[in-house]
Amino acid sequence: MVLRIKSFAQGQPLSALSADTSICGGRGLSEFAVELRDVTKVFGEVVAVDHVSMGIRQGEFFAMLGPSGCGKTTSLRMIAGFERPTSGEVYIDGKPMGSTPPFRRDVNTVFQSYALFPHMTVEQNVGFGLEMKGVPRAEINRRVKEALELVRLPQMAKRYPRQMSGGQQQRVALARALVNRPKVLLLDEPLGALDAKLRKEMQIELKALQREVGITFVFVTHDQEEALSMSDRIAVFSKGKVLQIGTPLEIYERPNCRFVADFIGETNFIEGKVKQIDGEFAVLESDGRCFVGRAGEGLRVGAQASLSVRPEKAQLVEQPMNSANCYEVRVHSVAYVGSDTRVIVMLGDQHFDIWEQNSLSTLDPNYFFGPGERAWLVFRPENALILAE
Partner 1 sequence: MASDTPIVLIGDRAEVAPRPRGATAKLRPGRFALTVAALFTFAFLYVPIAVLIAFSFNSARTGATWQGFTLQWYERMLSNPRLIDAAANSLIVAALSTLGSVVIGTLMAIAMERYRFRAQAVWDGLLYMPVIVPEIVMGISLLLFFASIGLERGLITLIISHIAFSMPFVYLTMRARLADFDRSLEEAAQDLGADEWTTFRRVTFPLLLPGIISSALLAFTLSLDDFVTSFFVAGVGSQTLPVYIWGQIRRGITPEINAISTVMLILSIVLVILSQALQRRQSSH
Ligand X SMILES: Nc1ncnc2c1ncn2[C@@H]1O[C@H](COP(=O)(O)OP(=O)(O)O)[C@@H](O)[C@H]1O
Interacting residues with partner 1 (CB under 8 A): 80-82, 101-103, 107-109, 111, 113, 115-119, 128-129, 132-133, 162, 176-177, 180
User: Minimum distance from CB of 97 to ligand X (Å)?
Assistant: 18
Interface mask (CB under 6 A) for ligand X, residues 359-378, using x and -?
Answer: --------------------
Residue 96 interacts with which of Mg ion, partner 1, ligand X, none, CB < 5 to 8 Å by class: none
CB of 162 to partner 1, least distance (A): 7
The CA R_g of the chain, rounded to the nearest whole Å, is: 25
CA distance 133 to 334: 62
Element (H, E) at 199: helix 196-213
Task: Figure out which of the listed residues 71, 85, 94, 190 binds ligand X, where binding follows CB under 6 A.
Answer: 71
Specify the residue, 11 or 71, whose C-beta has the smaller distance to ligand X: 71
Rule CB under 6 A: say whether 224 interacts with ligand X: no
- Residue whose CB is less far from ligand X, 200 or 239: 239
Residue 43 interacts, among Mg ion, ligand X, partner 1, none and using kind-specific CB cut-offs from 5 to 8 Å, with ligand X
Binding residues (CB under 5 A) for Mg ion: these are 73
Tell me how far, at minimum, the Cβ of 229 lies from Mg ion, in Å: 20
What is the greatest pairwise CA distance in the chain?
77
336 binds ligand X (CB under 6 A): no
What are the residue ranges of helices labelled H in 72-183? 72-80, 122-132, 137-150, 166-178
262-288 residues labelled b (16+ CB within 10 A) or e (exposed): ebbbebbebebebbeeeeebbbbebee
Are the beta carbons of 315 and 356 closer than 8 angstroms? yes
Give the contacts of 274 (CB within 8 A, at least 6 positions apart).
282, 283, 284, 285, 299, 300, 301, 302, 303, 304, 305, 386
Out of Mg ion, ligand X, partner 1, none, what residue 69 binds, judged by CB under 5 to 8 A for its kind, is ligand X
Q: How far is it, in rounded angstroms, from Cα 56 to Cα 72?
A: 14
Going through 142-232 in order, the beta strands assigned E by DSSP cover 184-188, 216-221
Select the binding partner of residue 247 from ligand X, partner 1, Mg ion, none (C-beta < 5 to 8 A, by kind). Answer: none
13 binds ligand X (CB under 6 A): no
Site string for ligand X, 28-57 (x = CB under 6 A): ---------------x--x-x---------
Report the distance separating Cα 49 and Cα 293, nearest Å.
33
